[in-house]
Amino acid sequence: MISGDNGAGKTSLLEALVYCSVLRSFRGVAKEAVIRAGADKASVRCELQHGTRRIEIGVDICVGRRDRAERNRSRVDGARDLLEVLRTTLFTPDDLELAKGSPSLRRDLLDDVIDATRPRLGAERANLDRILKQRNALLRQLGGRLTDAAATTLAVWDERLADTGERVVQARTELTHDLEPLASEAFSSIAPDAGTLRLTYAKSYDGPLAAAIAAARDDDLRRQVTTVGPQRDDLEIFAGGLDARTRLSQGRQRCVALALRLATHRHVTEVTGVIPVLLLDDAFSELDDHTARALVRELQIGQALLTTAGSLPPGANPELVVRIVDGVLS
């Protein structure tokens, strides 16, 4: 457990660990917000035991250029090489937004799990992002007017969007099916009187994606943006038959978010055979004692780092407690 006052650097420590796994901040901020004010570079070093091997990960985060990442002092191309040896599951108070926030947060949750368990399919998300940027740029350039030459170019992007989008949707749908029983079990443990948890991957269109793109072309030209596709889908969540986003109390929504995180943690463990490191950033501060104890019971065997500005959560029994003061562990 890591204790410290608010602002002491507890979240920054966990952020550094996550960066050593996925080469980005879990807060979704730009590099400039990760690097100390006034500096143009930050360096993170992490040593870990992976089976019988001792592994060192190093990352140099640089403004204006690509990060430099190394594993045992050998350069790696990207996060895929780091995920092989370091996976993390993060709980934060902001996870409440998974239940009540925008669909993009739930799509990102699914995509992050796919990245961690099926790297080849995970690469499709990056490809989808590139296609959407190119197609949207073309739509803005056309300004609502479609020439014969432009129609030919747009048709190319339509085809690429349909092909890649269908693969992304299929992967997300399959993952939703795999996560549902895990999330339902976790939710029943955390909130036993709240009913059954159900997950549904909701597409933003009907029928084949290619047909939906073609039907939306006039609207896309008028609005100058792609209006259908995986970028507008959602993960719908129902607890006790109620829409988690709009019909549950904030306490129940928090239980839903915790169940989702536990489900993804278990799924990654089952698929990869490696238990991710659990990072709990002040995750118990908004929980009542019953829910906190239930969450502690649900945590699987493996390494966990828990941060808190207060006392230990009920039921927790850490092997080591350290304190952080002004960014320094003691």
Q: How does strand 322-325 pair with strand 2-3?
A: parallel
Q: Is the pLDDT of residue 287 over 90?
A: no
How much is the pLDDT for 299? 75
Question: Pick the residue with more confidence: 28 or 230?
Answer: 230
Q: How many CB atoms lie within 10 A of CB 159?
A: 13
Packing angle between helix 148-190 and helix 103-117, nearest 10 degrees? 90
DSSP 244: T
Please report, for residues 14, 253, 306, the alpha-carbon distance to residue 293 in angstroms, rounded to integers and kept in the order given: 23, 17, 14
Residue 277: which of 23, 48, 117 has the closest Cα? Answer: 48
Q: Is the pLDDT of residue 300 over 70?
A: no
Q: Which tens digits make up the pLDDT trace of 121-180?
A: 878 998 999 999 999 999 999 999 998 999 999 999 999 999 999 999 999 999 999 999
Q: How confident is the model at residue 317 (pLDDT cuts 50, 70, 90)?
A: confident
CA 245 to CA 99: how far, in whole Å?
5
Domains parsed from the chain with CATH numbers: 1-85+309-330 (3.40.50.300), 88-273 (1.20.1050.90)
Q: Is the pLDDT of residue 83 over 90?
A: no
Residue 20 CB partners (closer than 8 Å, separation 6+): 44, 46, 57, 59, 82, 86
Tokens matching residue 278: 């659990």
Tokens matching residue 197: 């948890």
